[in-house]
Amino acid sequence: MSATTPRWTFITNYGLVISYIYHNPKSTAREIANEIGVTERTTHKIISDLEAEGYIERRKIGRRNVYDVDPELPLRHHTKQDVLVSELLEALTSKEDVVIRD
């Protein structure tokens, strides 16, 4: 671990992936992995988990996947089930983030 890599963070890889997908719904798993700093395999696993639980929906447009996030689902932790995904996404959105939607 390099001197600039934090030993821990407040946001899990799942939170980072869903946030990235929300802001970049046409991104590939490779692009997501490179941006958040995990392997492409880890990214595929997270995407599959999020899709299986209904947090994201994957659809094909040509050869690419495009993702939609369901912002109205609650967070999964038993102490935070009164918080919606939309609230998490809002908290993780910087002023510079631009949502690209079709």
In a domain, 38, yes or no: yes
Q: Is residue 6 part of a domain?
A: no
Provide the sign of the torsion angle of the four alpha carbons 21, 25, 31, 35, taken in this order.
negative
**pLDDT tops 90 at residue 102:** no
Q: Does residue 19 lie in a domain region?
A: yes
**Which pLDDT does position 86 carry in this prediction?**
96
Mean pLDDT over 33-48 rounds to 97
User: 51 lies in a domain?
Assistant: yes
Domain around 40: 13-92
The rounded distance, in Å, linking the Cα atoms of 10 and 59 is 30
Domain membership of residue 64 (yes or no) is: yes
Q: What is the pLDDT of residue 60?
A: 94
On whether residue 80 sits in a domain, the answer given is yes
How do residues 46-89 score in pLDDT, each as one tens digit? 999 999 999 999 999 999 999 999 999 999 999 999 999 999 99
Nearest in space to 37 (alpha carbons), one of 58, 10, 17: 17
Q: How far is 34 from 61, CA to CA, in rounded Å? A: 22
The domain spanning residue 19 has which CATH number? 1.10.10.10
CA separation for the pair 45, 38 (Å, rounded): 11
Local confidence band at 2 (pLDDT 50, 70, 90 cut-offs): low
Instruction: Examine residue 76 and state whether it is found in any structural domain, yes or no.
Output: yes
Residue 95 has pLDDT above 90, yes or no: no
Q: Does a structural domain hold residue 101?
A: no
Q: What total number of domains does the chain contain?
A: 1
